[in-house]
Amino acid sequence: MLKQMMKQLAAPLRKHGRLERMLKVTRMRGGEAAMTHQIVLPHATYSPWWSDAEFQRVVEQVEGNTFVDIYRLYELWSLVGQVRDIEGDILEVGVWRGGSGCLIAAKAQIEGIDATVYLCDTFRGVVKAGDRDTEYRGGEHADTSAAVVIKLARRVGVQQVRVLEGVFPDDTADRVSARALRLAHIDVDVYESARDVFDWVWERLSPGGVVVFDDYGFYSCEGVTRFVNEIAERPDVLYVHNLNGHAVLAKR
């Protein structure tokens, strides 16, 4: 019986190995991409998001209002809990329809965190695309509005959300009253915007605070990857490249 079970377990592992070897040689470089890319098949199977009832409840409420997948959403959810005792407010730049921002706010509320969650977006699409970016040309993801985000926040039941419309930090940073931040989620898709947001955030981030860049390593968002790579070696940065598409930076 045990031998039969071992055979059954070994078969998918052998298939996994063969597929992994195939992917290893399927490295992607083409079009306007300046970096090498490869589809990565993870070995780990631990999936704590499926047994987190509160997380699942909120994910169901924000479904359809975010491009962020469940792996990255759960990382954001977990990080909010981990910065519970850090001083400061919470900021998300690049909100689209508010799914990830309202999920962050919901977790902060569950944790009893006394902080404003600022959700900032142009609500007219991507801005500041340039020659460092692979595919974005500007104006993408404009199918949203501040009203859509406010409506979602009400549906989720979060009280501490403040929606700011305009280019951040250029147009709306003066409306952020926080002297300190504990967490920032930067989801802006392009190099220049990522740089401008980070520069504003970092000097206000509390020691131990965290910045999460979305789209890190994405084939279509090489500008973001390039910018994070430029700052990752700074002495005040603790940097983790997560293969789920996040770059996580903690302030030393």
Residue 208 is part of a domain; what is its CATH number? 3.40.50.150
| Whether residue 211 sits in one domain with residue 138 | yes
Amino acid 28: pLDDT = 60
Is the pLDDT at 4 greater than 90? The verdict is no
d(C-alpha 187, C-alpha 101), whole Å = 11
Tokens 């900021």 correspond to 91
| Whether residue 196 sits in one domain with residue 79 | yes
User: Which tens digit of pLDDT belongs to each residue from 223-236?
Assistant: 999 999 999 989 99
Which tops the pLDDT comparison, 181 or 23? 181
Amino acid 6: pLDDT = 47
| Whether residue 164 sits in one domain with residue 79 | yes
Q: Of 3-12, 64-73, 105-114, 147-156, give the lowest mean pLDDT range.
A: 3-12
| Whether residue 110 sits in one domain with residue 172 | yes
| Whether residue 74 sits in one domain with residue 29 | no
**Which whole number is the average pLDDT over 179-207?**
97
- Contact status, residue 48 vs residue 75, Cβ threshold 8 Å: no
| Whether residue 134 sits in one domain with residue 41 | no
The pTM for the full model equals 0.88
Amino acid 178: pLDDT = 84
Range of the domain at 2: 1-45
Amino acid 13: pLDDT = 46
Amino acid 15: pLDDT = 53
Amino acid 2: pLDDT = 47
How large a percentage of the chain has pLDDT more than 90?
Answer: 79
| Whether residue 96 sits in one domain with residue 169 | yes
Q: What SS3 string covers the chain?
A: CHHHHHHHHHHHHHHHHHHHHHHHHCEECCCCCCCCEECCCCCCCCCHHHHCHHHHHHHHHHCCCCCCCHHHHHHHHHHHHHCCCCCCEEEEECCCCCHHHHHHHHHHHHCCCCCCEEEEECCCCCCCCCCCCCCCCCCCCCCCCHHHHHHHHHHHCCCCEEEEECCCCCCCHHHCCCCCEEEEEECCCCHHHHHHHHHHHHCCEEEEEEEEECCCCCCCCHHHHHHHHHHCCCCCEEEEEECCCEEEEEEC
| Whether residue 212 sits in one domain with residue 87 | yes
**Number of structural domains the chain divides into:** 2
| Whether residue 100 sits in one domain with residue 10 | no
User: Which tens digit of pLDDT belongs to each residue from 28-58?
Assistant: 654 556 788 888 777 889 999 999 999 999 9
| Whether residue 158 sits in one domain with residue 37 | no
| Whether residue 186 sits in one domain with residue 87 | yes
| Whether residue 247 sits in one domain with residue 143 | yes
Q: Which two tokens stand for residue 130?
A: 């340039």
**Which are the contacts of 90, defined by CB distance < 8 A and separation ≥ 6?**
80, 104, 105, 108, 113, 115, 116, 117, 118, 181, 182, 183, 184
How large a percentage of the chain has pLDDT more than 70?
Answer: 87
pLDDT mean across residues, the chain: 90
Cα dihedral 89→209→193→178 (10° resolution)? 20
